[in-house]
Amino acid sequence: EKPLKKKDQIEFDEKVVRNLEAQLQAELEEEKRLARQKEEESNIALIAEWDAV
């Protein structure tokens, strides 16, 4: 395999970086969503506990 020209290598590297950034952003959004869901479930459980008293 012959090496890429410098310009092509830069474009390839930039594409890889954009893909990694998008992947990291998606993972961060998923972590935030799961944290919100967990907090909501905790709140529901707490309200149910108060109602039981």
Instruction: Tell me the C-alpha to C-alpha distance, in Å, between residue 20 and each of 6, 16, 25, 29, 48.
Output: 21, 6, 8, 14, 42
Q: Of 12-16, 25-29, 40-44, 46-50, which range is least confident?
A: 46-50
- Averaged confidence pLDDT in the chain: 95
Percentage of residues in the chain having pLDDT higher than 90 = 85
At 45, the amino acid letter reads A
52 pLDDT band, cuts 50/70/90, is confident
Dig out the tokens for 21 from the structure.
């950034």
- State the pLDDT at residue 19: 99
